[in-house]
Amino acid sequence: MLTVSDLDILELEAMANTIRQDIIRMLVSAGSGHAGGPLGMAEVFTALYFRVMRHNPDNPDWEERDRLVLSNGHICAVRYAAMARSGYFPVDELLTYRKIDSRLQGHPHNLSLPGLENTGGPLGQGLSQAIGRCLAARMDDKDYRVYCAMSDGEHDEGQTWEALMFAGNHKLRNLTTLLDRNNIQIDGHTEDIFPLEPLRAKYEAVKWHVIEIDGHNIRQIIEACGEAKAVYEKPTAIICHTIPGKGVDYMENEPEWHGKAPSAEMGERALEQLHAEGERIRNGIAKLRG
């Protein structure tokens, strides 16, 4: 299992807070984009890039790297911020997000930016892309893992369920999905639009190992990814219960912020809240360091 100290956890929480601030600045600069999902997945992407995945920012095409497929491409702001903070490209480039000729497009384009494994946009396709990489690893006798970040809303797509059945049937043990279970999609709450529950039972019925966690608890994220590595006979789904818009009071659990950017004034309000939370985390780090 992957284990971390209390100090490690606080340092990772500080990074997640920094990534949230990056997301707000990116959205304000662009004047468009998605706020709810990226803010809600900050801890997940922090854990992946700074603790869980085997990768090398100086060699993005390293053959032995773990692969991360982003199925819900509209939350790419959180991935870009995590990539920049881990060294794939300069942090200043984040402010080009969604601008003409930027490498940081509004949905990820894998030919534009080294380190992106897939082009994302149409929902429901990422899991199939991840499965292809899992099969390639099996054929090439490679031990890298494939992680697939998904939304709950894209489970409305039939292709998602075909892919789930395929992965379970073929025992793709090197596949781990991280499902953003934030209960919203563009038109409102998932359970009002196209109910997904009982979601865990559905995954288990098609031969997946399922772990449910608090998607804002970094220790739980890391431990769940460690547990997935120990499961030999099945793919693993980590259902990450998250709060969309996490960290910004006027965005949390509000479907209208699924695909909306804050104004400059609202962005300042968001950054004030995130700065205060960052200071709380830094004080905790200072106490642990003595």
Average pLDDT for residues 125-145, to the nearest whole number? 97
**pTM, full prediction:** 0.97
Contact 69, 146 (CB under 8 A): yes
- pLDDT tens-digit readout, 247-266: 999 999 999 999 999 999 99
Task: Name the percent of the chain lying above pLDDT 90.
Answer: 96
For residue 3, name the pLDDT band (cuts at 50, 70, 90). low
- pLDDT tens-digit readout, 164-178: 999 999 999 999 999
Cα distances (angstroms) measured from residue 22 to each of 18, 51, 52, 53: 6, 20, 21, 21
Residue 234, pLDDT score = 97
Whole-number average pLDDT of the chain: 96
Residue 219, pLDDT score = 97
As given in the structure block, the two tokens for residue 24 are 């707000």
Contact 137, 146 (CB under 8 A): yes
Instruction: Flag whether pLDDT at 86 surpasses 80.
Output: yes
Residue 150, pLDDT score = 97
Residue ranges of domains in the chain, CATH in brackets:
6-289 (3.40.50.970)
Average pLDDT for residues 148-169, to the nearest whole number? 97
Residue 122, pLDDT score = 84
- pLDDT tens-digit readout, 26-61: 999 999 999 999 999 999 999 999 999 999 999 999
Q: How far apart are CA 47 and CA 266, in angstroms?
A: 28
Residue 186, pLDDT score = 86
Average pLDDT for residues 184-188, to the nearest whole number? 89
Nearest one of 59, 55, 62 to 79, comparing CA atoms: 55
For residue 1, name the pLDDT band (cuts at 50, 70, 90). very low
